[in-house]
Chain A
Amino acid sequence: MQAKPTTLKVLDIVSLLLLAVAAYLALFYAPEEATMGQVQRVFYFHVATAWTGLLGFVAAGVAGILYLIRKEERWDIIEVAAVEISLVFFFITIVLGSIWARPVWNAWWTWDPRLTTAAITELVYIAYLMLRQGIEDPVKRARFGAIYTILGAISAPVTFFVIRLVRTIHPVIIGSGDPGAQGTFAMTAGMKVAFFFALFTFTVIFVDLFWNRILLGRLSARVEELKLSVLR
Chain B
Amino acid sequence: MDEILPKKAPVTTMTKSPAQASRAGSSALQQYLRAVGAIAWKDLAAELRSRELFSAMLVFSLLVIIIFNFALELDIATRRSVTSGVLWVTFAFAGTLGLNRSLGIEREQGGLDGLMLAPVDRTAIYFGKAISNLAFMLGVEAVTLPVYSFLYGINLFHPGLLGVILLGSIGYTAVGTLLATMSVQTRTRDMLLPILLFPLVLPVLIAAVKASGGILAGDEAASVMSWVNVLIVYDVIFLAVAFMVFDFVVQE
Among residues of A, the one whose C-beta sits closest to the C-beta of B188 is A134
Q: Is B19 an interface position by the 8 A CB rule?
A: no
CA distance A146 to B251 in the complex (A): 14
In the complex with contacts A120-B202, A134-B187, A135-B186, A143-B234 CB distance below 8 A: no
- Secondary structure call for the B interface: helix
Whether the pair A147, B248 counts as a contact (CB closer than 8 A) is: yes
Q: Is A155 an interface position by the 8 A CB rule?
A: yes
Task: Report B61-98 residues with CB < 8 Å from chain A CB.
Answer: none
Q: Is A158 an interface position by the 8 A CB rule?
A: yes
Whether the pair A135, B230 counts as a contact (CB closer than 8 A) is: no
Q: Mark A138-169 against chain B: 1 for CB-CB distance below 8 A, else 0.
A: 00100110111011101100110111011000
Residue numbers in B under 8 Å from A136 (CB-CB): 187
Task: Report B179-199 residues with CB < 8 Å from chain A CB.
Answer: 179, 182-183, 185-189, 192, 195-196, 199
Among residues of A, the one whose C-beta sits closest to the C-beta of B242 is A151
Whether the pair B187, A124 counts as a contact (CB closer than 8 A) is: no
Q: Mark A111-138 against chain B: 1 for CB-CB distance below 8 A, else 0.
A: 0000000001001100100110111100
CA distance A62 to B200 in the complex (A): 18
Choose one: B203, B226, B251; the contact of A158 (CB below 8 Å): B203
Q: Is B207 an interface position by the 8 A CB rule?
A: yes
Which of B179, B183, B186 is most buried by chain A, counting CB atoms within 10 A of its CB? Answer: B186
Question: Min CB distance, A121 to chain B, in Å?
Answer: 8
Residue numbers in A under 8 Å from B185 (CB-CB): 135, 140, 144
Residue numbers in A under 8 Å from B187 (CB-CB): 133-136
Residue numbers in B under 8 Å from A163 (CB-CB): 206
Whether the pair B241, A150 counts as a contact (CB closer than 8 A) is: yes
Residue numbers in B under 8 Å from A146 (CB-CB): 248
Among residues of A, the one whose C-beta sits closest to the C-beta of B251 is A143
Choose one: A143, A151, A159, A166; the contact of B241 (CB below 8 Å): A151
Choose one: B195, B233, B245; the contact of A130 (CB below 8 Å): B195
In the complex with contacts A68-B245, A120-B199, A159-B203, A151-B230 CB distance below 8 A: no
Q: Is B237 an interface position by the 8 A CB rule?
A: yes
Residue numbers in B under 8 Å from A154 (CB-CB): 237-238, 241
Whether the pair B202, A134 counts as a contact (CB closer than 8 A) is: no
CA distance A96 to B245 in the complex (A): 37
Among residues of A, the one whose C-beta sits closest to the C-beta of B237 is A154
Task: Report B21-76 residues with CB < 8 Å from chain A CB.
Answer: none
Whether the pair A150, B245 counts as a contact (CB closer than 8 A) is: yes
Residue numbers in A under 8 Å from B179 (CB-CB): 151
Whether the pair A165, B200 counts as a contact (CB closer than 8 A) is: no
CA distance A146 to B247 in the complex (A): 13
Residue numbers in B under 8 Å from A165 (CB-CB): 210, 226-227, 230
Whether the pair A131, B182 counts as a contact (CB closer than 8 A) is: yes
CA distance A31 to B98 in the complex (A): 58
Residue numbers in B under 8 Å from A120 (CB-CB): 199, 202
**Could you jot down 12 A-B contacts, CB within 8 Å?**
A68-B248, A134-B186, A134-B188, A134-B192, A144-B186, A147-B245, A155-B199, A158-B203, A158-B234, A162-B206, A165-B226, A165-B227
| A-B CB proximity, top 9 nearest | A134-B186, A134-B188, A134-B187, A162-B203, A123-B199, A124-B199, A158-B203, A155-B200, A127-B195
Q: Give chain A's interface residues, CB within 8 Å of chain B.
A: 68, 120, 123-124, 127, 130-131, 133-136, 140, 143-144, 146-148, 150-152, 154-155, 158-159, 161-163, 165-166
Besides A134-B183, A134-B188, A162-B206, 8 more A-B contacts (Cβ < 8 Å) are A124-B200, A134-B187, A134-B192, A136-B187, A147-B245, A154-B237, A158-B203, A158-B234
